[in-house]
Amino acid sequence: MNDARKVINELLVKLFNRILIIEHEALKEAGIPLSMNEVHVLEAIDDLDMSTMSRIAEKLHITVGSATIAIDTLQKKGYVNRKRDKNDRRRVIVELTSDAAEVLDVHDRFHDEMITAVIDDFELEENDILIDALKKLSDYFKA
């Protein structure tokens, strides 16, 4: 296996786990009682237009039953509220509280710093090549 393959594999296998662990420890130190899994639920809700239980479950690739339980504990912890959709009372809309917005802000800033650290040194042309490669990687998994 040549150097390129080794480095890319190392990246895929280990880097992402390392990021998750670092983020998890940052939450712990900040006294935020959330797992990374729970932060990902908050992110999903933030991304969705109408964050119903089934859309949240679909986005996170979990069952709706699992979503119910995830939202239960986030609600107990004060990071989300449930409300019924007025047009279709079967639906539950999940909303983020201001506490959740704060957590997501911190999370966004973390990602921002991380990216800055990586791309600040690059020339514009090198940036293009990097983006090309990452897009290719990303596209490979969309298929």
CB of 47 to a copy of itself, least distance (A): 10
Q: Does 21 bind a copy of itself (CB under 8 A)?
A: yes
Report how far residue 2's alpha carbon sits from residue 69's, in angstroms, rounded to the nearest whole number: 46
Q: Of the listed pieces 10-18, 68-76, 99-107, 110-118, which binds DNA according to CB under 7 A?
A: 68-76
Q: Does 91 bind DNA (CB under 7 A)?
A: yes
Report how far residue 123's alpha carbon sits from residue 42's, in angstroms, rounded to the nearest whole number: 35
Quick one: how far is CA 44 from the chain centroid?
A: 7
By CB under 8 A, what part of segment 64-123 binds a copy of itself? 111-112, 114-115, 117-119, 121-122
Binder among 17, 35, 115, 135 for DNA (CB under 7 A): 35
Binding site for DNA (CB under 7 A): 35, 37-38, 52-55, 61-73, 76, 82, 88-92
Binding site for a copy of itself (CB under 8 A): 3-5, 7-19, 21-22, 40, 43, 61, 111-112, 114-115, 117-119, 121-122, 126-127, 129-138, 140-142
